[in-house]
Amino acid sequence: MKKITIISLVLLIFSKISFSQQVNWRAFKEGQQHIINVNMGIDYGTTFGLGYGYKLKTKIPLIANIEYSFPGGKTMFDDFKTKFGGQAEVLKMGNFSTTLRVYGVFRRFENESARFLNFGSEFSTAFGYYKPKWYVAGEIGFDKAITTNVKHSQWAHENNPDIQDGWYLPTGGNFSYGIQSGISFNSNDLYMKLGKLITQDFKTSPYLPYYLQVGYNRRF
């Protein structure tokens, strides 16, 4: 198997270890601009995430986000994914709403063969029905690993002297689609997401092609 193929397969695994913060636009109260998020997901194992958002005072509802996530395991913080960007309510018709999310992504993954550092991007949109106390929506997204720096371990170099470290462009990506729903009370939101993943060639799926996430928001 070619080295670039190995890289792509690895990225298709660790690119899925976080989920975007979900919000109920109709639940925001006057003066609430901050939102703190914690979440847990099932995706090749247990994943955990933290996030912070700031609701800007703009004509179109807009939240700037920063998020951090990591998989559970023996060494909790050796692999991680960080995201920075935002989400906006780009269309509102009565109780129906469309949200657009755009993020830059930086992630790290390491195994016995190599350490991977990756820069990528994530785009997604959700369309649904939103009320002050609950909402339900469908979503679709694309997570792209744009460029990756690979540093192989001493073990890998000893077993394959021709192997090379360095930057590789491009690598892998995943499409995702699913549903999400949540309930809101006082200044709190509870939500759940469920969906499926498929690789960017539309021909194959990850070994476990489904994702699940539950999360909690606190608005203030």
Q: DSSP assignment of 12-53, as one string?
A: HHHTTS--PPP--GGG--TT--EEEEEEEEESSSEEEEEEEE
Question: Could you read off the pLDDT of 92-118 as tens digits, one per residue?
Answer: 999 999 999 999 999 998 888 899 999
Residue 9 structural domain? 3-219
CATH of the domain at 155: 2.40.160.20
- What is the model's pLDDT at position 9? 47
For residue 75, pLDDT over 80 is answered with no
Phi/psi region, residue 202 (left: phi>0; alpha: psi -120 to 50; beta: rest), is: left
Predicted pLDDT of residue 13: 47
Instruction: Read off the tokens for 38.
Output: 């914690």
Let me know: does 103 contact 109? Beta carbons within 8 Å.
no
pLDDT band at 49 (very low <50, low <70, confident <90, very high): very high
The tens digit of pLDDT for each residue in 57-73 reads 999 999 999 999 988 76
Residues 120-127 have a mean pLDDT of 96
Tens digit of each residue's pLDDT (9 = 90 or more) over 5-47: 455 545 444 545 456 779 999 999 999 999 999 999 976 668 8
Q: What is the pLDDT of residues 175-212, one digit of tens each?
A: 999 999 999 999 999 999 999 988 888 777 767 788 89
**pLDDT on residue 71:** 85
Surface-to-core class of residue 98, CB atoms within 10 Å of its CB (0-12 exposed, 13-18 middle, 19+ buried): middle
What's CA 62's distance to the chain center, in Å?
Answer: 18
Q: Which whole number is the average pLDDT over 166-179?
A: 87
Tokens of 211: 């994702």
Task: Report how far residue 30's alpha carbon sits from residue 202's, in angstroms, rounded to the nearest whole number.
Answer: 44
Could you give the number of structural domains in the chain?
1
Q: Please report which residue ranges of the chain form alpha helices under DSSP H.
A: 3-14, 154-159
Burial 43-63 (b: 16+ CB within 10 A, else e): beeebbbebebebeeeeebbb
